[in-house]
Amino acid sequence: MSKTVVTRFAPSPTGYLHIGGARTALFNWLFARHHGGEFRLRIEDTDRARSNPEASAAILRAMQWLGLGHDGEVVSQFERADRHAEVVHQMLATGHAYKCFSTQDEIAKFREDARASGKSTLFQSPWRDTAAADQPDAPFVIRLKAPRDGQTVIDDQVQGKVTFQNNQLDDMICLRSDATPTYMLAVVVDDHDMNVTHVIRGDDHLNNAARQTLVYQAMGWDLPVWAHIPLIHGPDGKKLSKRHGALGVEEYQAMGYPASAMRNYLARLGWSHGDDEFFSTKQAIEWFDLAGIGKSPSRFDFKKLDNLTGQHIAVTDDRELLEQLCEFLAATDRSDLTSEQKELMLRGMYCLKDRAKSFHQLIDKAEFILTTRPIQPDEKSAKLLDGVSRSILKQLTPLLQDVSWIRNALEEVATKVAEANDVKFGKLAGPLRAALAGRTACPSVFDMMLVIGRDETIARLNDAIGEA
RNA sequence: GGCCCGUUCGUCUAUCGGUUAGGACGCCAGGUUUUCAACCUGGAAAGACGAGUUCGAUUCUCGUACGGGCUACCA
Among the options A109, A119, A238, A242, which is catalytic?
A242
The reported pLDDT for the residue numbered A35 is 97
The reported pLDDT for the residue numbered A395 is 92
CA distance A160 to A120: 27
The closest nt to A228, taking CA to C1', is B5
The reported pLDDT for the residue numbered A374 is 87
Identify any residues that bridge with A76 across adjacent strands, giving them in sequence order: A43
CA distance A17 to A11: 8
Reference A41, options A51, A61, A49, A54; nearest CA is A61
Within 7 Å of a protein beta carbon, the nucleotides of strand B are 1-8, 10-14, 22-26, 33-38, 67-75
Quote the crossing angle between the two packed helices A407-420 and A387-400, to the nearest 10°: 140
The A 188-247 residues near strand B by Cβ under 7 Å are: 203-208, 230-231, 233, 237-239
Active site residue A242: yes
Report angle CA A239, A242, A244 to the nearest 5 degrees: 55
**Cβ of A164 less than 7 A from strand B:** yes
CA atoms within 13 A on the CB side of A113: 7
The closest nt to A180, taking CA to C1', is B73
DSSP, res A195: T
The reported pLDDT for the residue numbered A15 is 87
The reported pLDDT for the residue numbered A173 is 97
pTM: 0.94
The closest nt to A301, taking CA to C1', is B11
The reported pLDDT for the residue numbered A468 is 41
Quote the crossing angle between the two packed helices A445-452 and A339-352, to the nearest 10°: 150
The A 279-308 residues near strand B by Cβ under 7 Å are: 292, 294-299, 301, 303-304, 306-307
The reported pLDDT for the residue numbered A376 is 87
Q: Residue A458 carries which side chain, given as an amino acid letter?
A: I
CA distance A362 to A317: 14
The ipTM, to two decimals, is: 0.95
pLDDT digit of tens for each residue in chain A (468 aa)? Answer: 468 999 999 999 988 899 999 999 999 999 999 999 999 999 999 888 888 899 999 999 999 999 999 999 999 999 999 999 999 999 999 999 999 999 999 999 999 888 888 888 899 999 999 999 999 999 999 999 999 999 999 999 999 999 999 999 999 999 999 999 999 999 999 999 999 999 999 999 999 999 999 999 999 999 999 999 999 987 766 666 555 556 889 999 999 999 999 999 999 999 999 999 999 999 999 999 999 999 999 999 999 999 999 999 999 999 999 999 999 999 999 999 999 999 999 999 999 998 899 999 999 999 999 998 888 888 888 888 888 888 999 999 999 999 999 999 999 999 999 988 988 888 889 999 999 999 888 999 999 999 999 999 999 999 988 754
